[in-house]
């Protein structure tokens, strides 16, 4: 994650910073219950992951972060290692992007989500093996309706 994100955290009204390496994920996996549906699903997803990084900033006003803050991070997500599977820019300035790290078979080597809204910026990076099914169900778990990811790599922009 770019160092500029630390400055954004100082400006933000609220910020979330989750950084978990493989050791911490293993530790968390031991404490995730198999009885609870959400935790059981999380346990399955976490088993293949090497790291989780989430940075989310909520600002009081629009324009408190600029595109350059995100561009520096986006620069790292280049082909052939990464491919952008979804990129949506809306009239109100919202921009949603999903990048997948190419891997063999039905496994994905990692996923990055960039969600840039006028007053909120969120970057999610799940690195490690994650199956397409797990990814599709990820949105359907945790009290959120199921996500159907587009099968083609077509861009919506």
Partner 1 sequence: MSQMDDALREALRREAAPEGFAERVMAKVGREERQATKSDDLSHWLLAAFRRPQLRWATALAGVALAIGTMEYRNEAEKRAEGERAKDQVMLALRITGGKLRLTQAAVRRIQYAPREQ
Q: Which residues, including other chains, have CB under 8 Å from residue 14's CB and lie 6 or more apart?
A: 57, 58
- 113 scored as a contact of partner 1 (CB under 8 A): yes
Residues 79-98 binding partner 1 (CB under 8 A) are: 86, 88, 90, 94, 96-98
Out of 10, 148, 151, 152, the only residue in the binding site for partner 1 (CB under 8 A) is: 148
Give φ, ψ of 52 to 5 degrees.
-130, 130
Burial class (CB within 10 angstroms; exposed 0-12, middle 13-18, buried 19+) of 64: middle
Residues of the shown chain interacting with partner 1 in the complex, contacts defined by CB under 8 A? 16, 18, 20, 24-25, 27-28, 30-32, 38-39, 42, 45-46, 52, 54, 56, 86, 88, 90, 94, 96-98, 111, 113, 115, 122, 124, 126, 135, 138-142, 144-145, 147-150, 156
């Amino acid at each position: 994650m770019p160092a500029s994100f630390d400055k954004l955290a100082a400006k933000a009204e609220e910020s979330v910073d989750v950084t978990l390496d493989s050791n911490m994920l293993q530790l968390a996996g031991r404490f995730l219950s198999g009885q609870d549906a959400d935790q059981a699903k999380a346990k399955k997803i976490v088993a293949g992951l090497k790291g989780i990084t989430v940075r989310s900033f909520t600002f009081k006003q629009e324009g408190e972060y600029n595109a350059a803050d995100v561009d520096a991070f986006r620069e790292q997500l280049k082909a052939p290692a990464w491919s952008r599977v979804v990129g949506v820019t809306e009239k109100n300035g919202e921009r949603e992007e999903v990048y997948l790290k190419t891997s063999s078979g039905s496994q994905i080597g990692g996923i990055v989500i960039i969600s840039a809204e006028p007053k909120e910026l969120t970057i999610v990076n799940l690195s490690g093996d994650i199956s397409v099914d797990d990814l599709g169900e990820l949105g359907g778990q945790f009290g959120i309706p199921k996500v159907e990811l587009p099968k083609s790599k077509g861009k919506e922009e």
